[in-house]
Amino acid sequence: MDYDIIVLGGGPGGYVAAIKAAQMNAKTAIIEMGNFGGVCLNWGCIPTKTLLKSAKVYQYILNSSKYGIDIDDLSNVNINWEKMLQRKKDVVKKLTSGVEFLLKNNKVDIYRGFGNVIDKNSIEVNGNRLSCKNIILSTGSSPNIPEIPGVKDGLKSGFVITSKEALELLKIPEKLVILGGGVIGVEFATLYSSLGTKVTIIQNMDRILEFMDHDVINEMEDILLGLGVEILYNTSIVKVNKTDLTIKDKDGERDIDADNLLISIGRYANMKGLEKLNLETYRRGVKTNEKLETNIPGVYAIGDLNGVFNLAHVASAEGIIAVENIMGEDKKIDYRKAPNCIYSFPEMAAVGYNEVDARNKFKDIIVSKLPLSANGKALAEGESTGFIKIIADKEYGEIIGVHIIAPTATDMVSEIVTTMELEGTIYDVARVIHPHPTISELVMEAAHGAVHKNKDT
């Protein structure tokens, strides 16, 4: 059967692209071998956030006295891990089935199975050869597994886990070691430490979340330490044993105990089935231009496969842009305006330049930073750890970066993303009347601070 567009992979980039293509009257098919929603809906974004909510509720109960609610015996507050996992499964099932309904409702043809790309105009699935004018590749990524002695045996025994297995453990570990202090590592450190696990992060450099703004890194380090998380910097794993692991730092080698070792050191693009295309690649995946097109005309690569930003919302945006370009429009993606969110306690969100990069890129900048402790809503809710930091170009006041640590940081950042998309300034945000009391007021107040700083200089 001939199609205008075939989408290979049903993750947050793929299924969104397929629906958009069908809505633009393109004859569309999607190929998926597993559940729709990809890593995000099945083993990433949604299940982790579901478990994080349960952990948050547990922490609220343990700290209820500070809200004026006394519980006679906190030792009787128990975690029902089995029920938490079941709730996670129920949420995931509801969402994935909803995605399939949307695809069918938009008249997208669904093919179940592994898709092998024959050439730029045909894909084989389950022995059937499908032809098309354009292909959108959305095959996702898999966890990087380091070549450390004992890791492969540890994976087989269940001692070594990835983020997928970390969401399906039969019981909450007493001791969890996490290799990698990036986004996934920090989120799982937050989750399990909040549930009572002794968590140790092993980082082979001198900071966590190395791509974030330095103020965010410093604050988050303090937050994690406050949760009881141990962070071992400039440390590596020498070997993995059956029930422990050997690490090495400046003082030499030593063994540390763990119930599980979580590997969280990035992901690699899934290239299987794409070999015949002879795609141009780079270190992180398939190389694409601003229109998401590969070196093969009519073949596009989105999401984790191109590796620019391994974020579900970016994959969805890329999918839409790829379809629009196929359908004759001229659209480009601006990754500088893509928000980055981390679901710790409190949350973190960022968009645009961090302060160091902004100072290197622009001649003059303004930096306005306000603590969450100055916000009435945050104080009323008992969650006043964090800040907002706005970075603007001095000449015009255009916002070029924002960094937030707050309970609702991942929601608050959308206002800034919209402003940046419209090339808005600190003057625009400062003029917007924000509701009171809200934590989002800090956005307006930080903008006012930037305006005053610009007047004073």
68 is in an annotated binding site: no
Secondary structure class of 178 (helix, strand, coil) = strand
10 is in an annotated binding site: no
399 is in an annotated binding site: no
CB 18 within 8 A of CB 103: yes
Residues 429 and 400: their CA atoms lie apart, in Å, by 13
441 is in an annotated binding site: no
182 is in an annotated binding site: yes
439 is in an annotated binding site: no
Residues 6+ apart with CB under 8 A from 365: 355, 358, 359, 391, 392, 393, 394, 400
Pick the closest to residue 241 from 232, 230, 253 (CA basis). 253
Pick the closest to residue 188 from 83, 85, 52 (CA basis). 52
186 is in an annotated binding site: yes
266 is in an annotated binding site: yes
Does the active-site annotation cover 436? Answer: yes
CB 415 within 8 A of CB 444: no
Residues 208 and 212: their CA atoms lie apart, in Å, by 9
187 is in an annotated binding site: yes
Residues facing residue 391 across a β-bridge: 367, 401
140 is in an annotated binding site: yes
What is the bridge-based pairing of β-strands 281-282 and 267-269?
unpaired
Secondary structure class of 204 (helix, strand, coil) = coil
| N-term to C-term CA, the chain | 66
240 is in an annotated binding site: no
Residues facing residue 30 across a β-bridge: 7, 110
Tracing tokens 């000449």 back to the chain, one arrives at: 395
Residues 332 and 322: their CA atoms lie apart, in Å, by 9
**Residue in 403, 436, 448, 452 annotated catalytic:** 436
Neighbours of 164 (CB within 10 A): 14
Residues 213 and 398: their CA atoms lie apart, in Å, by 19
141 is in an annotated binding site: yes
255 is in an annotated binding site: no
Angle subtended at Cα 441 by Cα 435 and Cα 49, rounded to the nearest 5 degrees: 100
Q: Residue positions in the annotated binding site for NAD(+)?
A: 180-187, 266
Q: Residue positions in the annotated binding site?
A: 49, 115, 139-141, 180-187, 266, 304
| Residues tagged active-site | 436
Q: Residue positions in the annotated binding site for FAD?
A: 49, 115, 139-141, 304
